[in-house]
Structure 1
Amino acid sequence: MAGNGEFGEPDSGTGTGAGDKRPNALLESWFLRSGWSKGELARQVNRRARQLGAVHISTDTSRVRRWLDGEQPREPIPRLLSELFSERFGCAVSVEDLGLRSLHQSPSTAGVDLPWTAPQTVALMSEFSRSDLMLARRGFLGGSLALTAGPGLVEPMQRWLQPMHGEPLTTVEQSTSSRRTGHRLSRPELELLESTTVMFRKWDAQCGGGLRRKAVVGQLHEVTDLLQEPQTEDTGRRLFRVAAELAELAGWMSYDVGLQPTAQKYFVLALHAAKEADDKPLGSYVLSNMARQMIHLGRPDDALELIHLAQYGSRHASTPRTQAMLYAMEARSYANLGQAGKCKRAVRMAEDTFAEANESTDSDAPDPDWITFFSEAELYAENGHSFRDLAYAAGRNVTYAGLAEPAIGRAVELFGRDLEHHRSYALNLIGLATVHLLKREPERGAAAASEAIGIAKKVRSERLNTRLRKTVDSAVREYGDVTEVIELGNELATRLPEAAQTPA
């Protein structure tokens, strides 16, 4: 047993004999570009392991040297390294990208290429939510997951478009009927479940993903139990819709608190459940959140493919509001790819389609609750951030920053009147701060960021905190001699100190 390495790991590594080892050139490349020393990487791994509850992990510089020399560490080390390098470079860095191997995973922690059948969708949602509830100490489950990107993500999601086939849900019913009561949901009970999902969504908007995540996961697990009871066809479809909305919300909350692999798995399960519910607009909404996550992880090409898949799959079923949201996310994808013409076209389509949504009459199909978040404020926010992202992609182009400012400013104004969307208000204040920094207006940028700090203290959102810290750090690096920026850095350190957070 190694005295100074991971607890329980032999010095020779996992499945790699001393004579067979070759230097890990991929890991060494990422390591050298990171700027970390061996000691700093070891400390980062140990710190992340403690946050995940893996207190047995104890890594040092000699162990890091062995990894670079070709030793294959045991789980959860490869996952921890994947997460650390992904955060360092702002893009998805998989275990394989690091030249490391993943051990066999259970179905609940495997990748995203899952069977598209009702019984297996229910079983996987049940297993994954149960594991999350048991192991969610700072996302310990996330330590056994890996982010999927590129064709490995997009190609399995394309099966969402294929007609449903395979085993019916009655297979689950029959296999569990001997040990279940056979209780069928009444209409009032079903409506109560649906209204509870609406309530959870409001809580997320008000308080951030960190406050009610476990409650949402627990509710999802309960719904998967109900899906294993004999239900009528209509009730089963509505239950799958509830499960899809809860899984999407669990994914969104996981994304908000920084549990990226966990978020992606919930989004994939939500898409499967939406397919079983035969709800294409809901499926397109799930895909849009997967795209948003890919933009966050520096994969706008994947995001664009996911958005186009969402648009194609729901083109005859979505309301104008949903279509406008998809156009806005398409614009964000093009912006991050630096494709200005296509970005501007998508922005115009989002605006025109949203105007059509506002002109809808009572006789038109009503919007589902999950898309009501896409308000006028949200439209301005998305389009403004598209121009802001385009400014960065074009080398800090001041012209695009000038296009972004009035749109994000309008979003800030509208969200400032809203008593429910505190996180969105703060995120747009940060967006406005970045625009002012692009325009070389550090005093105005510091004022917007300072206001965001006050809101961030009231909201449990690691995504918000991370963006705020990055914006302030950027301001300090560029304008560290400006009084307002100096004061902003001090305010951030005092009012929002960096600390490990435990998602609920």
Structure 2
Amino acid sequence: MSGNGGGGTNAASTHKRPNELLASWFVRSGWSKGELARQVNRRARRLGAGHISTDTSRVRRWLDGENPREPIPRILSELFSERFGVVVSVEDLGLRTTRPSPSATGVDLPWTGPQTVALLSEFSRSDLMLARRGFLGSSLAVSAGPSLIEPMQRWLVPSPSAAQPHPEPEPASAGRARGRLSQPELDLLETTTVMFRQWDAQCGGGLRRKAVVGQLHEVTDLLQDPQPDPIRRRLFKVAAELAELAGWMSYDVGLQPTAQKYHVLALHAAKEAGDRPLGSYILSNLSRQMIHLGRPEDALELIHLAQYGSRDCASPRTQSMLYAMEARAYANMGQPGRCKRAVRMAEDTFAEADEWDEPDPDWIRFFSEAELYGENSHSFRDLAYVAGRSPTYASLAEPLMRRAVELFAAEAGRHQRSYALNLIGMATVHLLQREPEQGAVLATDAIKAAKKVRSERVNTRIRKTVDTAVRDFGDRAEVVDLTEWLAIELPETAEAV
């Protein structure tokens, strides 16, 4: 049992002291030992570590001072981070972990083309080959604060390789050179990336993530072959978009460290492609993740970096999206004045989107009027939470959220996950306004929509919303019915990623 439960085996365990740090987080979480054990097992299965089998006695031994083996410390870090909305490191829990190799972890990576290719290849290969056995998930941790922001700021530093073009490969003596791409082949790679993005919007990140990672690995193979400069830049752009999508899908299924690493590598690839607007979009995803993890100050710094870096080249649609994310950061920091200003800037800039002379790249076309309403309504909803469940901010969120739901409902087949997320958002607004009947109806609709996608993010938000309804209105019949419906329709089972 000690092997399956992730227990420590060193002799020092016989002289262990109670883990007061872990005990403090555990007590504040409100979980029972059995609940924590079940969550650890569920997360381990999602990482592919099916050998983990934790029970209440094992949790008790951790609290008594036993140090569990990997990947348990990382799993506990993720679970407590999600529970409290802040980054709770392994060390914060009073646990020890083996230090992984620099290539496997961290975000302070070399900003050079060849090393970017090598790191993308290594990481995507590890994801494909090792994640199902739990190794990849146990070797990563989310970076935050200066350890994240400072390396990302080097995105704006001119790359040494950008100063002079790569030499043209010598023509092959017969036929096409090994690895050289034709124009139709490159067009097909770009079209395939668009298709993957559409699948993600329709089905969620859990269904196609491995296919995207596999395609990314193939593209890194092509980048290791000699290519003319124009083709090389386009290949780096494809790699950046695929890495961004792999990161986004990882975020969607709850693999936070993996998501961050892919996004960081995507930013490196976007720099090699010379595509600053794409880089700003990737930074916005990192910012969104920081908001999710309770680090709005980090989120704001990342958004400001994105805005500055793309200030003279991003389309109005991209700039509007960045303003909307800036508003989300300010909302979570409890700064209503700056939040409202950013909301207005997002609206005003979006109004100019159709006047842009060039077509928007595919990666930003998702940011529709519905997305604008959804983001801005969530900013006001977040302000309501930060301001102690303020009805004033909830009333500002309600009409915007209603419009977002209406627009997404009209195209739910193409944006099923966004539709589900905004239904959940609308349910939370009604709960803030102390309208449990409407909240329960919308949460029920969200559950129906969630069954059509593979998104742990959607499922988690539904469960948190239902938990809030139970806490505030647990004696209402519609809330009791909602709880029973959730248990039947969305049981807490592991999902393959």
The CA deviation at 1:153 is: 1.0
Deviations 1:285-337 (A, max 9, x none): 00000111111111111111110110011111101110000000000000011
Query: Are 2:113 and 2:272, in contact at CA under 8 Å, matched by a contact in 1?
Result: yes
Residue 481 of structure 1 aligns with an amino acid whose one-letter code is: D
Residue of 201, 205, 224 corresponding to 2:201:
205
The CA deviation at 1:426 is: 1.1
Query: Are 2:404 and 2:422, in contact at CA under 8 Å, matched by a contact in 1?
Result: yes
Residue 187 of structure 1 aligns with an amino acid whose one-letter code is: Q
RMSD: 2.6
* 3-state SS, counterpart of residue 225 of structure 2: coil
Give the % identical residues: 76
Aligned mates of 1:417, 1:153 — CA distance in 2? 39
Residue of 368, 371, 376 corresponding to 2:364:
371
Aligned mates of 1:186, 1:117 — CA distance in 2? 25
Alignment match, 1:226:
222
The CA deviation at 1:41 is: 4.1
Taking structure 1 as the reference length, what is the TM-score of the superposition? 0.91
Residue 52 of structure 1 aligns with an amino acid whose one-letter code is: L
The CA deviation at 1:11 is: 4.1
Query: Are 1:197 and 1:246, in contact at CA under 8 Å, matched by a contact in 2?
Result: yes
Query: Are 2:401 and 2:422, in contact at CA under 8 Å, matched by a contact in 1?
Result: yes
Distance 1:31 1:492, change over 3 A: closer
* 3-state SS, counterpart of residue 440 of structure 1: coil
* 3-state SS, counterpart of residue 211 of structure 1: helix
Distance 1:446 1:44, change over 3 A: closer
Distance 1:67 1:469, change over 3 A: closer
Aligned mates of 2:37, 2:466 — CA distance in 1? 27
Alignment match, 2:448:
454
* 3-state SS, counterpart of residue 334 of structure 2: coil
The CA deviation at 1:138 is: 8.4
Aligned mates of 1:75, 1:58 — CA distance in 2? 13
Alignment match, 1:101:
96
- Map of 1:456-471 to 2, 5 A cutoff? 456-471=450-465
The CA deviation at 1:87 is: 2.4
Aligned mates of 1:489, 1:110 — CA distance in 2? 39
Aligned mates of 1:342, 1:278 — CA distance in 2? 32
Alignment match, 1:165:
160
The CA deviation at 1:116 is: 0.9
> Structure 1: which 5+ runs fail to align?
175-179
Aligned mates of 1:94, 1:86 — CA distance in 2? 8
Deviations 1:348-406 (A, max 9, x none): 0000000111333xxx1321110000011110000011011111111111111111011
* 3-state SS, counterpart of residue 124 of structure 2: helix
Aligned mates of 1:127, 1:315 — CA distance in 2? 33
- Map of 1:94-493 to 2, 5 A cutoff? 94-137=89-132, 141-165=136-160, 182-360=178-356, 364-418=357-411, 419-493=413-487
Aligned mates of 1:283, 1:221 — CA distance in 2? 20
Query: Are 2:71 and 2:137, in contact at CA under 8 Å, matched by a contact in 1?
Result: no
Distance 1:442 1:140, change over 3 A: farther
Q: How many positions carry a matched residue from both structures?
A: 489
Deviations 1:66-122 (A, max 9, x none): 655655443222212211211222222112322333323134421111111111110
Report the more deviating stretch, 219-228 or 464-473.
Answer: 464-473
Query: Are 1:285 and 1:310, in contact at CA under 8 Å, matched by a contact in 2?
Result: yes
Residue 415 of structure 1 aligns with an amino acid whose one-letter code is: F
Aligned mates of 2:112, 2:416 — CA distance in 1? 39
Query: Are 2:7 and 2:66, in contact at CA under 8 Å, matched by a contact in 1?
Result: no
Distance 1:139 1:351, change over 3 A: farther
Query: Are 2:323 and 2:342, in contact at CA under 8 Å, matched by a contact in 1?
Result: yes
Report the more deviating stretch, 85-94 or 110-119.
Answer: 85-94
Aligned mates of 1:92, 1:68 — CA distance in 2? 20
Residue 427 of structure 1 aligns with an amino acid whose one-letter code is: L
Report the more deviating stretch, 471-480 or 230-239.
Answer: 471-480
Alignment match, 1:177:
none
Taking structure 2 as the reference length, what is the TM-score of the superposition? 0.92
Query: Are 1:170 and 1:230, in contact at CA under 8 Å, matched by a contact in 2?
Result: no
Query: Are 1:7 and 1:57, in contact at CA under 8 Å, matched by a contact in 2?
Result: no
The CA deviation at 1:492 is: 1.5
Aligned pair 1:6/2:1, yes or no?
no
* 3-state SS, counterpart of residue 180 of structure 2: coil
Report the more deviating stretch, 347-356 or 101-110.
Answer: 101-110
Aligned mates of 1:129, 1:9 — CA distance in 2? 32
Deviations 1:262-290 (A, max 9, x none): 11110011011001111110000000001
- Map of 1:15-26 to 2, 5 A cutoff? 24-26=19-21
Report the more deviating stretch, 223-232 or 411-420.
Answer: 411-420
Query: Are 1:331 and 1:342, in contact at CA under 8 Å, matched by a contact in 2?
Result: yes
* 3-state SS, counterpart of residue 103 of structure 1: coil
Distance 1:140 1:454, change over 3 A: farther
Distance 1:158 1:470, change over 3 A: same
* 3-state SS, counterpart of residue 160 of structure 2: coil
Residue 96 of structure 1 aligns with an amino acid whose one-letter code is: E
Residue 180 of structure 2 aligns with an amino acid whose one-letter code is: R
Aligned mates of 1:205, 1:499 — CA distance in 2? 22
Aligned mates of 1:85, 1:97 — CA distance in 2? 10
Query: Are 2:85 and 2:293, in contact at CA under 8 Å, matched by a contact in 1?
Result: yes
Alignment match, 1:45:
40
Deviations 1:405-453 (A, max 9, x none): 1101101111111131111111111111111111111111111111111
Aligned mates of 1:109, 1:169 — CA distance in 2? 30
* 3-state SS, counterpart of residue 145 of structure 1: coil
The CA deviation at 1:467 is: 0.7
Query: Are 1:2 and 1:10, in contact at CA under 8 Å, matched by a contact in 2?
Result: no
Aligned mates of 1:454, 1:37 — CA distance in 2? 30
Residue 462 of structure 2 aligns with an amino acid whose one-letter code is: L
Residue 128 of structure 1 aligns with an amino acid whose one-letter code is: F
* 3-state SS, counterpart of residue 352 of structure 2: helix
